[in-house]
Structure 1
């Protein structure tokens, strides 16, 4: 174990909601909820103003609306989140080359690998204060909570204890004083089921967990889980900060506001998802061997179908062909509520023309029982832009063009009125509030949903990250989802 609290955990406060409040002046200081805005959506992030009403992450949007009906409900803007996250990660790398991003809004930093030799608690606290101010500057005012400790476990718990906009440095040797009074649910890996098992044997706090015989924990929880929790309760966590985390798969999925039964429309959605996955593979210079289609039916029954090829590919034609075939292996006539496409078995090379004959495919399938919890995503309820299915010689289909829709919170630009964001949409009309992060709260105007003067807009990059700015109207990069969804 380390002798200094040289691991820092930084967590941006209510990140998605904070970015929305930063970029939308009329929402500052008001309840903001980001996530799926449809009837089947779930909350990704709630601002602290919304949390006062009991709204929390992973809550169904319908329940959030009942608790906080006056909040602003927005779909995700992942380009803005990604750019802000990049500015933060670049700032962290000024402290140390060992930075491990966990998600858009969270990362570990190993200060022992940095240039400073002073790792005393006082010096680390001073540097953490400077880091918080630097993050506030490069993000345009966002706050972060920072914890520092001798391990990832302690640093993570320390940052959680001081949210929002807090700082806690746990000196070496004081870990037990911090952890032992806490409920066992504070330990990673202790969910409701594990917590109930521990309560049955009289363990309620981390201190009681640390004092329990390891053999009793193994008997109650199993060999691996019991041994792991015993070590964590004693603050024995030797996990290193790993700067590069290997991707195991690339996937995309959508949850639909209404069940889809039309085979042509389902095929078009599969094409769109497969295309998005392949664009990401190409952008990250990856390829994969296994194509998987995930299908959740109207009654929450979830099926996955997979096909494994003899070698890796990033060819959208191959992925489309396999994904379409896998879709036909499930009876979707009763209605589909969620659809996903993924590629796994990743490699950093592509074997050209491997699949011309279609040889080497091994079909596998799996069926999961009805899920108790939906893995809804914030992007799934966004209005889809016009798309066209990709036609191949093997399976031509008709062009499918869904009606154009606008999603709440979406960035837009108008020829006459400039930049703004979608306040609401419906009945073939869209209402826009014209304001940006640099302006005061702006006016609200309503247009026809197909108004040719109104167009989606991708915000400019943050200068702090050093990217070249663009005009916002011609960004070819597909939307990407955050790791936690």
Structure 2
């Protein structure tokens, strides 16, 4: 029997929670993220997207595109609170859930032996009635296709992709819709005339390996409907991180630090919500020439406070000479543990 996998995705989650809590924001362009000009948008409402604003966009550019937008600093505690309530509803239907983030998860409902569209509709209705939010759900017989389906007709979407729909249903999609194909790979493919999944489908498997490296064979089979990954219900988290690829390269060091500082707050919130502590911080950055660099520091005590993470990150950041414009920057906390270390950080012993 084929598996039945749902991919649940909460539409513009941070922005929609803000609208739910403040109905005066309804139908207005809401942008959640760093409110200074050097911050980045964490997410935005669909009204804001009509102006060209999108997540990971620098706030200064968002303000240029949408000067009358409503800019709100994130309330991570509130989003976690609502996320927990949503996951409680999901667990009524199945224990086979793989959370991907605060607003996204895979569910395996193969064992229910029910019409998957009816199950997905009930989930959507429960979340709307009990919490007040719309979500999108994709349904298919594997994870890759379920995730594609959830993005098909957002917001508040519901889409099923069946075996008999494959592969033709994917042919009109742009190649960037395929998980594993990044901007650099897509740019190379555009140059040889590959724009859609149908164009990609007709390439030999050897070219996939050349263009996508170790992921090439996976991509080759996934667009042919094969993806053997199962829903993993328990996974030991090894790190928490955030990164952004900018729509325009950034040269100002102060602007880059503002983004890293915002990530410190977000990662600290996630660590504390999971009662986890870290010992290693890594800053990753990619230059305009697509060269990737990382700098890390490990200390002797565990931490999860935002101020602690910022202090260590600042030392790493200041040691980097940004001689070129930056197209991506990220921050990761790793070496995780659930044990608390009571030793106080005196300038973090570094």
Task: Give the TM-score category using the shorter length.
Answer: 0.7 to 0.9
Instruction: Say if 2:107 is the partner of 1:117.
Output: no
Q: Distance in 1 between matches of 2:95 and 2:29?
A: 37
Instruction: Say if 2:231 is the partner of 1:231.
Output: no
Residues 134/215 of structure 1: CA separation in 2 closer, same or farther (3 Å cut)? same
How far apart are residue 236 of structure 1 and its match? 1.2
Given the alignment, which residue of 52, 55, 58 partners 2:53?
55
- Checking the alignment, whether the CA contact within 8 Å between 2:284 and 2:331 is kept in structure 1 is no
Q: Distance in 1 between matches of 2:65 and 2:45?
A: 14
Could you state the TM-score of these two structures normalised by the residue count of structure 1? 0.57
Q: Distance in 2 between matches of 1:86 and 1:329?
A: 34
How far apart are residue 93 of structure 1 and its match? 1.0
Given the alignment, which residue of 59, 69, 76 partners 1:71?
69
Report how many residues are paired: 322
Instruction: Say if 2:238 is the partner of 1:248.
Output: yes
- Residue 131 of structure 1: aligned partner: 123
Q: Distance in 2 between matches of 1:29 and 1:325?
A: 38
- Residue 148 of structure 1: aligned partner: 139
- Checking the alignment, whether the CA contact within 8 Å between 1:147 and 1:159 is kept in structure 2 is yes
How far apart are residue 241 of structure 1 and its match? 0.9
Structure (1 or 2) with the greater helix fraction: 2
Alignment of 1:36-115 (within 5 A): 36-113=34-111
How far apart are residue 50 of structure 1 and its match? 1.4
Residues 138/244 of structure 1: CA separation in 2 closer, same or farther (3 Å cut)? farther
- Residue 197 of structure 1: aligned partner: 188
Q: Distance in 2 between matches of 1:33 and 1:78?
A: 14
- Residue 24 of structure 1: aligned partner: 22
Residues 205/333 of structure 1: CA separation in 2 closer, same or farther (3 Å cut)? closer
Alignment of 1:466-485 (within 5 A): none
Instruction: Give a deviation string over 1:358-387, Cα, whole Å, max 9, x none.
Output: xxxxxxxxxxxxxxxxxxxxxxxxxxxxxx
Residues 287/34 of structure 1: CA separation in 2 closer, same or farther (3 Å cut)? closer
Q: Distance in 2 between matches of 1:57 and 1:282?
A: 24
Unaligned runs of at least 5 residues, structure 2: 244-251, 286-291, 323-328
Unaligned runs of at least 5 residues, structure 1: 261-265, 354-388, 396-485
Residues 392/173 of structure 1: CA separation in 2 closer, same or farther (3 Å cut)? closer
Paired residue secondary structure (1:161): coil
Residues 165/65 of structure 1: CA separation in 2 closer, same or farther (3 Å cut)? same
Larger Rg: 1
- Checking the alignment, whether the CA contact within 8 Å between 1:149 and 1:155 is kept in structure 2 is yes
Could you state the TM-score of these two structures normalised by the residue count of structure 2? 0.77
Paired residue secondary structure (1:11): strand
- Checking the alignment, whether the CA contact within 8 Å between 1:39 and 1:62 is kept in structure 2 is yes
Greater shift after overlay, 238-247 or 103-112? 238-247
How far apart are residue 189 of structure 1 and its match? 1.4
Residues 50/333 of structure 1: CA separation in 2 closer, same or farther (3 Å cut)? closer
- Residue 315 of structure 2: aligned partner: 327
- Checking the alignment, whether the CA contact within 8 Å between 1:87 and 1:138 is kept in structure 2 is no
How far apart are residue 88 of structure 1 and its match? 0.9
- Residue 10 of structure 2: aligned partner: 12
Paired residue secondary structure (1:94): helix
How far apart are residue 233 of structure 1 and its match? 1.7
Q: Distance in 1 between matches of 2:206 and 2:348?
A: 62
- Checking the alignment, whether the CA contact within 8 Å between 2:299 and 2:349 is kept in structure 1 is no
Q: Distance in 2 between matches of 1:324 and 1:45?
A: 27
Residues 32/316 of structure 1: CA separation in 2 closer, same or farther (3 Å cut)? closer
- Residue 292 of structure 1: aligned partner: 281
How far apart are residue 259 of structure 1 and its match? 4.4
